[in-house]
């Protein structure tokens, strides 16, 4: 059965621009990490499983099926399409995930898996949904899902994740490392809101959007580039022990990355 790659991403920068109800509005540059991805495929269920008719995910996950972003993507797609073929597909097949992207890491693994699942179903079942329609469904699953639906190498992502604008620039290769530290995104945002809230204005947003990722990484520190780094350090004191000079913080963590230059492997 065909395997589909669900790529990781890093946040070159992540700035808060304001609030919308319970959400923070952001401006961020997402860049795909080509060397780090999960692989998804549909595999036939065992006969005993097929009789149960339950949605099944095969893979190394610490959460329940109901909490998994792939299952949430299935529910959102079912609600949007009322597709009987979709239900039949998931009665007959399980979703197998070969997991390589660490969880709770700021690399978008769960969002990428959800986006890839939606694209797989769209292709296999000939649902003929446009990328915009898939992104709208994906947004119900998570704020980062639309970026992965569009499949851009690099993009400025704004709003609560629904505005994805491709950036034409050189693709960068990254060294990424993820400390064994599970970080709660809601906890980091809460700390930001209570102690660090300082949204950028429209002028600064436009300036950042126009810069290349390489320029940003060459002119900003890890703290300047990511508004969530300081709140994460405050909430998770041990994070400081993992920081290495010259590395940047992705999302709400816990991963760090830097540009992989030709002479450093």
Residues with a catalytic annotation lie at: 9, 144
| Locus of tokens 């961020």 | 28
Torsion, Cα 29 34 35 38, to 10 degrees, reads 90
Assigned token pair, 184: 């709660």
Rg (CA), the chain: 19
Instruction: Round to whole Å and give the CA distance between 10 and 256.
Output: 9
Assigned token pair, 60: 């190394």
Order of strands across the sheet that contains 256-259: 174-177, 256-259, 248-249
3-state class of 96 per DSSP?
strand
3-state class of 37 per DSSP?
strand
Cis before 254 (ω within 30): yes
Instruction: Round to whole Å and give the CA distance between 259 and 231.
Output: 24
């Amino acid at each position: 059965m065909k395997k589909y790659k669900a790529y990781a991403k890093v946040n070159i920068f992540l700035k808060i621009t304001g609030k919308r109800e319970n959400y923070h509005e952001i401006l961020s540059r997402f860049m795909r990490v080509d060397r780090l991805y999960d692989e998804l495929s549909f595999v036939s269920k065992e006969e005993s499983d097929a009789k149960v008719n339950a949605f099944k995910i095969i893979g190394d996950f610490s959460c329940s099926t109901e909490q998994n972003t792939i299952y949430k993507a299935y529910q959102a797609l079912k609600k949007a399409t009322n597709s009987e073929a979709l239900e039949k597909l998931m009665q007959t097949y399980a979703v197998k995930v070969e997991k390589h992207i660490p969880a709770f890491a700021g690399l978008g693994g769960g969002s990428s898996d959800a986006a890839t699942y939606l694209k797989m179903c769209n292709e296999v079942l000939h649902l003929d949904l446009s990328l915009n329609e898939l992104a709208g469904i994906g947004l119900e699953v998570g704020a980062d899902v639309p970026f992965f639906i569009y499949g851009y190498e690099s993009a400025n992502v704004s709003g609560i994740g629904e505005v994805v604008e491709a950036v034409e620039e050189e693709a960068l290769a990254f060294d990424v490392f993820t400390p064994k530290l599970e970080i709660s995104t809601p906890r980091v945002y809460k700390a930001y809101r209570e102690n660090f809230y300082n949204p950028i204005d429209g002028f600064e947003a436009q300036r950042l959007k126009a810069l290349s990722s390489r320029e940003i990484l060459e002119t900003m520190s890890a703290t300047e580039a990511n508004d969530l780094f300081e709140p994460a350090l405050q909430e998770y004191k041990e994070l400081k022990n993992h920081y290495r000079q010259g590395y940047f913080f992705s999302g709400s963590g816990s991963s760090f990355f830097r540009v992989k230059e030709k002479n450093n492997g």
